[in-house]
Amino acid sequence: MPWGIQMPCSCSVPPYLLQESCPCCRKPVNQNLIFVIFKMSKSIGRMKIKCRNEIRGCRATFPLSEKYSHGMSCPFELLDCQHPGCGAQLLRRDMEAHSLQCEYRQQPCHMGCGTLLSPRTQAQHSCYQQLRQEEEAKREQRRAVVATLKRKMRRLQNTMERVKRQIVLICESLEIMDDIEAVEGMGEMVELEEEGLESGDSNASSSTSRSSRSSSSTSS
């Protein structure tokens, strides 16, 4: 049976979603028409078909609804070898025998070093050399990590030095500003004192003139 039924509104939906309206576009659907379509889909699903691998020797016939399940188990289905590097294509029924003899088939080393070996590389394999190469590769990786961390530390130190220099310059500028403000404050105080002295002198002169006038008037 097909997975979806073609509705009158051109939507394709599974049979278990059939309702009074289309579950996709919500258009009303004639129930009698849905029943007819459902019966037709059931009839189509029971139609007998031949396997697509008939040209390779498969003589099986099955309902259309079982097409997918048969395709997943058909012994005449053409498959690619599962081992990387092998481009062989064989029938499913021959794949198991080929996998056991495939020259690209990889298995762990029987000595227990964990290396995956193919029949091609098994004769030249040495566990000692393999472990030595892996250890050297790990050392190189650690050296690269340490070198990267050192570069980052140097960049961080340079950044910190620049920040320190900027802080020193800011502090020096603030001190200069404080000195300028102090000098300006002292100048203002001097000006006030000078103004006070000038006002005192003017008061003294005015009092002297008043006293002279009073003495002259008394003598007269």
More confident residue, 215 or 91: 91
Average pLDDT over residues 91-101: 89
Q: Dmax over Cα atoms in the chain, in whole Å?
A: 161
pLDDT for position 204: 56
Residue 199: what are its φ and ψ, rounded to 5°?
-65, -35
7 near 26, Cβ under 8 Å?
no
| Dist CA 136 CA 143 (whole Å) | 10
Rounded CA-CA distance 56/89 in Å is: 13
3-state helix/strand/coil string of 141-170: HHHHHHHHHHHHHHHHHHHHHHHHHHHHHH
As a whole number of angstroms, the distance between CA 90 and CA 79 comes to 6
Q: How confident is the model at residue 131 (pLDDT cuts 50, 70, 90)?
A: confident
pLDDT in tens, 47-77: 899 999 999 999 999 998 888 899 899 999 9
Residue 24 contacts residue 32 (beta carbons within 8 Å): no
Which two structure tokens, joined as six digits, stand for 80? 């690619």
Cα atoms in the Cβ-side hemisphere of radius 13 Å centred on 192: 6
